[in-house]
Structure 1
């Protein structure tokens, strides 16, 4: 699924068949996946891989899933889903106390796991879903749509990329050269004045007649000011 591109998931389980099944399934959904078969390997891999979500088996030889969870939660912003072979209230409470964000009992359906992963992404990493709200702007990269004051703007593909770049970098002065490089590409062979043409069109569509939204700083470039 396109909106999930770039989401990293770490799987830690000592059962190779489960690891392989989950790895293939999650990769088919568009996730980046790394696997480990023991807790210590999982901890070391997490430092390098920097996953958004860790799916941990509770019962593993050596370092169990509880300890892995505790250490991962200390290391940064990572969502943890615990897996267990039995539904023990005591285990669930222990995992949640250590910082686990969700708990699943084996056997479970892959569809349910996906639903739990989506929930964790929405709660922990909403920007990864492709929609960002900044001031009166809503940028939805999944639909390639930008809304301003709850009105979807009719934009060409280039207008979309230009306005997205300006909005995401709001408050910064962006030169024509920088805009050409980031929006049109470093190998663009046209004139810098193309930026002025597109800025004029965006102002019309934003009803920014007084240039208070997209400001021109003479000799420097453009800046979007959010209110």
Structure 2
């Protein structure tokens, strides 16, 4: 269930948003100002944030910037002002979308769903396992400080397992997915590549482990998942 943060000092707007989002099956957490919203963001995990621009304590622009510093999540700014300069400020502070009050709830839902689709595509290119991040676009794996330049097949194998943590892949399935259906070598090549990956990431067992499931194949378990 997607978890959405609503930050708005108008209780009527919060009530409207809560009704619409709960009806769509989202989980909702509310904050009456920017300060409270930032406090919540430090203790809870959100999938998307809807922020009013004009709030006491901390406005939506500042809150948007703070949230961006903590994590990469979709953000929609709500405002009663339809000035181009205001929208420019919103995008400069990191918002993904901008909705002017009064708004149609259905339009807001369309925008929310579009953002989730956009972030899903982006997320598929970046796979995170605690400190370890796999970027399939740049073919790099990093822990935030060190960049691991893996041979192509090792990278593809690690990415395939990491996309589906907890799922067991047989050797035959991995051969087909990574080496191709016309591969004529021994499926033990998977074992060799798994061994190399385990050696490369021997110091990261607190982040993830590559586990052998006897008689079946291999899977990745992400710590704390």
1:169-199, CA deviations, whole angstroms, 9 ceiling, x for partnerless residues?
3799xxxxxx9xx78xxxxxxxxxxxxxx99
1:104-163, CA deviations, whole angstroms, 9 ceiling, x for partnerless residues?
0001111111111112111223489xxx79xxxxxxxxxxxxxxxxxxxxxxxxxxxxxx
- Contact 2:3/2:48, CA 8 A, preserved across alignment: yes
Question: Within the alignment, does 1:18 sit opposite 2:10 as a pair?
Answer: no
Distance 1:210 1:84, change over 3 A: same
Number of aligned positions between the proteins: 162
Alignment match of 1:124 (pick from 110, 119, 126): 119
Unaligned runs of 5+ in 1: 1-5, 134-166, 173-178, 184-197
- Indicate the residue corresponding to 1:92 in structure 2: 87
Q: State the distance in 1 between where 2:65 and 2:182 align.
A: 51
Question: Within the alignment, does 1:61 sit opposite 2:53 as a pair?
Answer: no
**TM value normalised by structure 1:** 0.58
1:125 match: secondary structure: helix
Cα drift, residue 46 of structure 1: 1.3
Distance 1:27 1:208, change over 3 A: farther
Cα drift, residue 94 of structure 1: 0.6
1:46-91, CA deviations, whole angstroms, 9 ceiling, x for partnerless residues?
1222212110001112211111111111111111100001201111
Q: What is the root-mean-square deviation in Å for CA atoms of aligned residues? A: 3.7
Distance 1:104 1:169, change over 3 A: same
- Indicate the residue corresponding to 2:161 in structure 1: 169
Unaligned runs of 5+ in 2: 126-158, 192-211, 220-225
Question: Within the alignment, does 1:107 sit opposite 2:107 as a pair?
Answer: no
